């Protein structure tokens, strides 16, 4: 591993929860490296440990064992330094339903230490970026699912983070909204931001990601570029394969068993 270029690095990352039925091993030793400037896809069935891993990397969950670094900073040792260089859009578009889009973005600017005028200007810039100028002064409760996702994305970009974590950013969106989010992700990445993207949509990973890792049952079971992963399986099987086949091969699932866990949905 080249330590100098890693935007995100995890070594032996483990998360255990204590539940009523005993200890739940949500993540069982994840090793991964995300290079600066790439879009890294993190795939896995429901309950595989994707969101738990993201929450550990973004300081939202404590780490049971192992270690993680974001832009060279240890997540557990200096969480505030990590928080300053990451943007986070989690699975559910977490928005304050009683604030307008503009108020929410301005608030985030203020919380990141911007002055009043600077926060207002940044909010306006982001509203234009995600095409929400007309809805800017309406409370977010009335936003459609697509608008909420775009605003959530904008909120994650307020402080121009070096690494953007997107946890299933297109789940539940219609095809048009999904395409809009894809365009935004490409545009953000084009400006130099590293993107860590979890998704259930294999088509999305194939379209967007430079490299990806597949997690199953709390462990990484495949890692590489979409092309290299397909080429490796294709060579083994002696036939053309898709990323869906790679996923099924990696997780030991059949198409029937995978239905509802990972979806082959195109935009």
CA nearest neighbour of 27 among 58, 74, 63, 1: 63
Q: Is 88 in the site for other proteins (CB under 8 A)?
A: yes
* Nearest approach, Cβ of residue 91 and other proteins (Å): 8
Q: Which token pair is 145?
A: 């699912």
Question: Distance between CA 124 and CA 108 in Å, rounded?
Answer: 13
Q: Is 138 in the site for other proteins (CB under 8 A)?
A: no
Q: Is 126 in the site for other proteins (CB under 8 A)?
A: no
Compute how many residues bind other proteins; rule: CB under 8 A. 31
- Residue identified by tokens 């909010």 is 123
Nearer to other proteins, 18 or 134 (CB): 18
Nearer to other proteins, 96 or 235 (CB): 96
Q: What is the four-CA torsion angle of 39, 40, 41, 47, rounded to 10 degrees?
A: -140
Binding to other proteins (CB under 8 A) within 143-162 occurs at: 152, 155
Nearer to other proteins, 87 or 226 (CB): 87
* Nearest approach, Cβ of residue 103 and other proteins (Å): 7
Q: Is 220 in the site for other proteins (CB under 8 A)?
A: no
37 contacts 86 by C-beta, under 8 angstroms: no
13 contacts 76 by C-beta, under 8 angstroms: no
Phi, psi of 250 (to 5 degrees): -70, -35
Query: Which residues are near other proteins by CB under 8 A?
Result: 55, 58-62, 80-81, 83-84, 86, 88, 90-99, 103, 107-108, 110-112, 139, 152, 155
């Amino acid at each position: 591993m080249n330590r100098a270029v890693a935007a995100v690095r995890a070594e032996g990352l483990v998360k255990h929860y204590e539940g009523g039925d005993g200890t739940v091993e949500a993540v069982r030793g994840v090793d991964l490296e995300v290079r600066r400037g790439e879009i890294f896809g993190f795939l896995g069935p429901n309950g595989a440990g994707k969101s738990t891993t993201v929450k550990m990397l973004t300081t939202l969950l404590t780490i049971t064992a192992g270690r993680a670094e974001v832009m060279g900073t240890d997540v557990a040792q200096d969480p505030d330094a990590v928080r300053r260089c990451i943007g986070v859009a989690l699975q559910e578009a977490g928005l304050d339903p009683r604030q307008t889009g503009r108020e929410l973005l301005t608030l985030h600017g203020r919380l990141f230490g911007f002055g009043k005028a600077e926060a207002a200007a940044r909010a306006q810039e982001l509203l234009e970026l995600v095409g929400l100028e007309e809805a800017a002064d309406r409370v977010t409760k009335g936003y459609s699912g697509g608008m909420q996702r775009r605003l959530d994305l904008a909120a994650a970009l307020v402080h121009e983070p070096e690494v953007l974590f997107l946890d299933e950013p297109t789940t539940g969106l219609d095809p048009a909204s999904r395409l809009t989010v894809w365009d935004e992700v490409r545009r953000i990445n084009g400006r130099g931001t590293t993107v860590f993207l979890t998704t259930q949509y294999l088509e999305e990973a194939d379209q967007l990601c430079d490299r990806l890792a597949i997690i199953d049952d709390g462990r990484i079971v495949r890692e590489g570029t979409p092309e290299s992963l397909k080429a490796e399986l294709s060579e083994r099987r002696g036939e053309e394969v898709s990323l869906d086949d790679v996923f099924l091969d990696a997780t030991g699932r059949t198409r029937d068993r995978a239905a509802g866990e990972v979806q082959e949905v195109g935009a």
